[in-house]
Each structure stands twice: as C-alpha cells, then as structure tokens.
Chains A and B, each alone.
Chain A
C-alpha cells in the first residue's frame, strides 16, 4: 500500500494554515515547508464558486492558454519606422488624442495626464498656449482614446497627438504593428504633464529633426530586432521597464552607423545620436511596444484566462483578458517606494501609464531578479528582487525561455498572467514603476513597487466564467 511507502520514508511535511504547530516540527527536526496560505479568492465565497466551476473546464482553458503563450513567445518585434502618429497608426484621427490606461474622460483625468493633453494641443498648434489650450479643448470636438485601442502604448501620461512621432514596430510572425511615442528623457517632460515652452520645443525638434533621421536610418539598416536587444539586456542588468541602460546602449550600437550613413547634415545626425545617448530610458519606448506586439499575438482566445493588457491612467487600473474586449477596472493604487529628496507619498499621483505592458509580458517587475541594481531605485534588497521574480511563477501559466534571469540560474521569466491563479492565490502581479507628481509638470518624484487592484481580476474572472456551463 502507498501508505506503507510513507512509513518507510523520511517524513516531509507541508503545513497549510496555522503556523502554530511549526515550532514543534522544528523541535523534532522534521523537515517541513510552510505554505504562505491565505484564503483562496480572498475568502470570497462567490469567487470560490467561480473557481470551482472553471476547474471543471480546466482542460479547454489550459489548452487555450497554451495557444496564447505559444503565440506570445513566437512573436517578434522589429523597429521598422518612425512616423507621425496620424500616418502610422490605423484608427488615429486628426482630432484624436491618445492617453495611457483604460477609457478616460477630461473630467476624471489625472492632473499629469491633463497637463500632457494641454501640452499636446499647443504642440499641434491648435492653441497658442496652455490657457488657450483648455478653452480649445472645451470648445472643440477632441476625441480621447486609450492608446491600447489603436495598439499603441505610452509611458506615464502616454499622451499621443496626431503629428507626434511614434516608433513603429512590426511582428513578422503575425504581420501586426504596435506603436509608442518617443521618450523625451527624464525631468520636466510631457509624459509627466509638463507643458512649458521648452517641453513643446523639444517635442517639435523630435518631430522635425529627429524623426526623419531615425526613419532614414531604419530604412538603411532594414529595421532593428527589439526582442533580441531585450534578451541580451536582461543578461546585462536591465529589466527593461525601470532600467534600460544596457538596452539603450545596445540600441545605440545598432543605430549609430545607420544614422551616420544617412544624408542629413552632420550636426543633425550628431544631435540625434546625442539625444539617444543622453537618455538611458530611450529603450523603454521600444521595450513597451515590443511587449504590446507580443501580447497582441496572444489576444482573441475566447477560452484563455490569460491577461493581455494591464495599464493605468492615474485614476483607474484596467486589465483585459485575451478573449474579451471588456476593460476590467478599479481605482489605481498608490506606488510604494523611494522618493527623491523633498517629496513624499503625499505628493504622488496614483499609479500611471501603459508601461506595465512590460510586466504583462513577463519582464519589468517580473524580471527584477535580472536587475539587482533596480532595488536601489525602488527600495528593498536583492533577495526581494529574486523573490518577486520567483513568486510570479505562482500566477503565470508559463515562462518565457526568450527572457532568462542569470541570477536564478538563467531560469526563464514568468509569462502569461492567469486570472485563475491570481484570484485563487491572492498573489498580485508585481509592477516596478516610476512615481509621477500628482500635479502636472513637476515630473518624476520617485520610483517603487505597485500591484494592480485585486478587484480588476475579480471582475475579469466573473465575466470570463460566464461563457462556461455550470
């Protein structure tokens, strides 16, 4: 009998529930592991019923999830062009302003996002200055749209107006495109809501001088493999959300010669290269659209329980699941982290931006083990970083052999956030992120860690389960 095998073996215990008996296992030198148990689904009886129902349809859901992660892993991402949003993005309209996060209106918009919108109106020449911009906005038919609705992603405020330049990335496997505005650098920038003349001026330079150089260089080199740079950078200390030093350097190595080969005046080429060199987060705006492309490959699987979008607009956090077009939203959380001198949590805006598409795709916070340097920035210890990456395997369907974590013996990074696992375990995705000042225009005031609200996953799983029979 199998019980008799137990009698012949060394006892090895898993404790689930109260830790009260553990000290006695210690004193008897019995080997044990204590599960960090919490009630499934936060103890919500209705959600447990939903989980039990989904358990009966496990096979078909699992199969759908296998298909999703296979497509996500296979997706490629080449930076092929840099164009104005209106020319690049299908669905972009002349009166449209894109923003980060789920659907939002002017009334509820977070201050940094509002500041960025007003700056964009000035940038477009629709108004002379910021005061006029607000009047223009209220008297004209400006259409707001989440970036994700047109396969675009933007960090922080994520504001994209029609003539802003965007990176154009192409997935050769699925022949799809994703887009992302260019990273302006740190400090007083539009994505943190700053809209002063110097910010507008930089944006105009990016459009008039930088964009044509980059576009021409990309024609010369035939595109740059962004996924490949991420693979390398993860082995060089980046997690490609909050640390992009290695990736930006790798990108520079690929783009420098093609830029020099273009026919533009030397000064313009030098300035373009200086712009990339001077901003170690340049690559974030390539990492993000690659992750968007990969997740796009994973969408449309009705029976899959995998999350393909997570984003926030400084007001709400929103997620989407592969097979559904519904935004599942809840109020965005505050980021817990380290503040630059002179700032505190009181100054912070709630969680903001599309950049957690990186976590959705298994890098960023999920790959913190690859980036011990990041803990200095967001707080915590190197061991914490390892723990975060390990623990994400509890809520993901798979892992991505493209993205490996050297410090964890090149373990693949966790991939495919499964709403069933999130709801059951109560473990939430870990996002490492910048913290924006709650007032427009002040900029980044710190960085730290944040989770999506559990509520988003609760709503998602309830809707997801509706398609299955009891």
Chain B
C-alpha cells in the first residue's frame, strides 16, 4: 500500500469538479483512498482523518488544492495523473474562449445578462449576489450556508428593486421555459409556481406535466423564505409577479409549513390576487377551497388541483395498478423475524419531508436528521436506528461535497449498510432525473441495490425496496428505462413520491 500527497498552490477548483474527479478516479483505479479537496480547515481535518495529511497540507491555505491517494500501486503516479487531469481541464476551457471574465464588474462592461446563477461556496455567495443585484440582475442562488442576515438583506434589496432573489439554497427554477440547476424537462403552459423547496417544486412540475398541464414559470425562493425572520419576502414578490404575468393563469405555492405569521400574510396576499391560487403546505392543516384559494397538504394533490383548475380535467390517473399491492404483499412476506424498520434514504429534501410527514401518521419511533423535536433526532446521521428517514442532501452530508442528486454515489454505501442491519425491513429510495441531476442515477445505484439484497439473503433475510423516480418522459435520462431497471431488480416503483412513502410505511407497519 503506498500513499502520496501533493499540494497545488493557488489552484482553485470548485468542489463538484473535485468530487466528481475523485469519485471517477476511485472507481477507475480501485484506490482505497482518493482525496482531491481545497485545503479549507474542515477538509484538512478530513485529510488528516484518512491519514493522508502532511506538513505541507497543514500549512496549505484555502486557495490551495490537495491531491492525495492511497492505493496498492504507485500512489505518486496516481496523484500526478489527477494533477494532469485538473490542469488539462482548466486549459481546455481557456483555449475555447476568446474573452474570459473573472469578475462580474468586468463582465457587465461588455454583456447584459438578466439572470445570475450563483453556486459558489456559501461564504462567498452573498458578496456576488449583492454585486449582481446592484447591477440590476435577477439572482438564483444555489449556494447554501449563507447567513439568514445576508438572506434578509439581499431579499429586501431585491424587493425594492423588483428583482428576483431566488435562494440561498434554491436548487430549482424554470424561467422562460429554461430549467436552471435542478429542473425537469416539462411542457410550457400557464401554471406559475413559487416554491420554497427544491424537489417539492420539481415534483409539482413533473406531476403537472404528467396530468397534461404546463408551466409558465417555476420560481424557487429557498427553504427559509417562509420562516418568520425572512417573512416570505420573495414568495410574495414572486406571487405578485406571476399575478401580473399574462402567460400565467394559475398560481401555485409549494412549501413546508410556513411560520404562522408568514402563512397568514401569504394567504392574505393570495386572496387579493385575481387568479386562482393553490397553496400546497406540506403537513399543513387546511384543505379545501375558499374563494380563489385552494389549500392542499400533499404535492400530488396540489399538482392535480392546479391542472384541474387550469385545464378543467386531468389527463391520467395516478392510482397504482392492483398488481403493485400484490407484489408488495409478496415481498413483505419474505421478511425474516426481527426485520421491522423502514429506512428511507433520500436525495431530495422536500420529498424526504413529505415521506416523513406520511410516516408520522402511522409509525412510532421515527428518527430523522430533519427533526425539529429532540426525540425524533437521529443521534448519528451516519447510522440508522428504528424507523429512519434521512435527507442525504442535508448540510451534514454535503458540506464541501456535491449534492447527492449530482453525485448519488454517496448513498451507495449507505444502502448496503442498511441491508447489513438485521432490523431493516424496507428501504425507500428516491431518484431525480432532469437538468442538473446525475446522468444515470438509477444505473449508478442498481449495483448497490443488488449487493444489498444479496447481503440480506446471504444472512437469511430479504429487503423490500420501494422507490420513486421524479422525472418526465422528456428528461434526458431515460425515465422508462430507469423505471424498468428498478422493477426488474425487484424494486416497487410508484407514480408519486407520496405513494412510495405510503407503500413503504405500510410494509414496515405490517411487521412492527
């Protein structure tokens, strides 16, 4: 086993590039450890933990890149190959372009863009957003780890200037028909959506598409927008803009339950608009129609209501084929004694929340990294206990790493780990297709599912797998083939995330 570590001075690379590269090299070479990281304090700790730190690493600064490998072969050679690949990547970019811009100020001297997408590390994001807004640009901020004070200041400024300040932590938008960051390829139409959640917004657009509806605009606002502190500043700004938008007939708002004061403001605003408004507050208490406002508590229900209001009818039924229930019963019957818990491993945050909400209705002893209540808190996010529902897109997992929707491989080990736990009965998974997502999230995961099932069976157990694929027939990842691949491997695939959660909970409930 040889080890080698190299520090590239003053060589900034974004974390997604680095993570994707290290994942690729690890897979190709079978090296036991491949670490390519910027030398932030946190990353330096990480490098030390895997035993690849050197004095040079300790003294490295945040603008230095550390390349370290531990493998059976020649680690130095492997490191040099990675360094060469990094260098090639950056020079290829330069050759192509005639003019490169390093700062917004310089870019705006020559060009007049109208949307700035920011995905820098969080601590630098607010600075860039401020410059963009000051220059009259709309902002979509994918970056997270931005302080609430910065968020409030930026949004207040944007509201004054009548600009979009989507985010921080805004993962999804469809603007003028173009998907930004994570978005599905859906029909254009007359339903305008505001979403304080990424995958929630994706799920609603996908289900609207499946029901024959189309999207005028889908505007993400970031998960904190409806907290009391931010006060729904951008949600309400977007609702007003959609109300004025001649291409929008119906307005949908999607969020986890807002703070009570903010909820009241949003409802009050909705009532003054001259278009029908569907408010989807997951876990919310109100349902039904009052005037122009329709209240829903589930994503699929909200999507269907929006299409019904707009088109007067739905294109399809989401109801599952009865055979699915038979399969579920057969799978559940194979569980060994002692196998009793649900293990939901989510990439999509809002889909995770929706499933959590469903599970709470039927299951006791739920543990999750999304818990607000102490007794529900998962002690160690890396280890499941009782009925565990984990959002693997949470900061804990993504700090310094790409989101699992981009790099679903961070979930693979966890799937196998769950199968090794004799108490695991059901594994619930989500897959996101569309722009921004991995080229083949199901394909990259299928081996882990097989390995997990094999591990369980070797130990006289069986795992029930349920999954939901958030995607459309137009997405570049093949939706039909992905679904088929899962089903061929014994995974129960549903038409909505809600259904997947209901089935998985039902299976677990039966053995608890």
Contact = CB atoms under 8 A, between A and B. Distances in A.
Nearest to B15: A18
Interface of A is mostly: helix
B175 interface: yes
Interface string A236-277: 000000000000000000000000000000000000000000
B61 interface: yes
Nearest to A27: B476
A383 B476 CA distance: 36
A35 B108 CA distance: 11
A421 to B, nearest CB: 7
B261 interface: no
Interface stretch (A4-12, A314-322, A348-356): A4-12
Given A3-B241, A42-B61, A421-B103, A386 B98 contact: yes
B15 A21 contact: no
Given A7-B245, A12-B114, A40-B124, A17 B119 contact: yes
Nearest to B143: A17
A33 B138 CA distance: 15
Interface in A16-36: 16-21, 24-25, 27-28, 30, 32-33, 35-36
Interface stretch (A61-69, A100-108, A424-432): A424-432
A454 B113 CA distance: 31
Contacts of B116: 13-14, 16
Contacts of B101: 33, 35-36, 394
A9 B177 CA distance: 12
A140 interface: no
B16 interface: yes
A390 B103 CA distance: 13
A14 B63 contact: no
Nearest to B403: A20
Interface size class of A (residues with CB under 8 A): 35 or more
Interface string B92-108: 01100011111111110
A426 B106 CA distance: 14
B164 interface: yes
B181 A10 contact: no
B104 A43 contact: no
A16 B117 contact: yes
A7 B238 CA distance: 12
B137 interface: yes
Contacts of A17: 14, 117-121, 125, 142-143
A39 B104 contact: no
B257 interface: no
A410 interface: no
B284 interface: no
A3 B436 CA distance: 24
A30 B295 CA distance: 35
B277 interface: no
Contacts of A15: 117, 119
Q: Which of A12, A13, A27 has the most CB of B within 10 A?
A: A13
A21 B241 contact: no
B371 interface: no
Contacts of B237: 3
Interface residues of B, number: 71
B12 A454 contact: no
B232 to A, nearest CB: 16
Contacts of A33: 101, 107, 111, 113
Contacts of B14: 17-20
Contacts of A427: 102
Interface string A205-241: 0000000000000000000000000000000000000
B217 interface: yes
Contacts of B102: 35-38, 391, 394, 425-427
Q: Which of B102, B125, B138, B161 has the most CB of A within 10 A?
A: B102
Contact of A3 (B17, B118, B162): B162
A4 B246 CA distance: 9
A427 B237 CA distance: 37
A383 B98 CA distance: 7
Interface in A373-387: 383, 386-387
Nearest to B217: A7
A20 B247 CA distance: 30
Contact of B117 (A13, A43, A387): A13
A52 B150 CA distance: 14
Nearest to B38: A43
Given A13-B113, A14-B107, A28 B178 contact: yes
B112 interface: yes
A6 B164 contact: yes
Interface of A: 1-7, 9-21, 24-25, 27-28, 30, 32-33, 35-40, 42-45, 48, 52, 383, 386-387, 390-391, 393-394, 421, 424-427, 454
29 contacts: A3-B138, A3-B164, A6-B176, A7-B176, A7-B245, A7-B247, A9-B176, A11-B175, A12-B113, A12-B115, A13-B113, A14-B104, A14-B107, A15-B119, A16-B116, A16-B120, A32-B113, A33-B107, A33-B111, A35-B102, A35-B103, A35-B107, A36-B102, A39-B12, A39-B121, A43-B38, A43-B63, A45-B123, A394-B103
Given A44-B63, A393-B109, 10 more contacts: A7-B245, A12-B114, A20-B14, A33-B113, A35-B107, A39-B63, A40-B127, A390-B99, A393-B106, A394-B101
Nearest 9 pairs of A and B residues by beta carbon: A17-B119, A43-B62, A2-B162, A42-B63, A24-B435, A17-B120, A3-B241, A38-B12, A12-B113
Interface of B: 10, 12, 14-17, 20, 38, 40, 61-63, 93-94, 98-107, 109, 111-121, 123-125, 127-128, 132, 136-138, 142-143, 161-164, 175-176, 178-181, 216-217, 237-238, 240-241, 244-245, 247, 402, 406, 435-436, 476
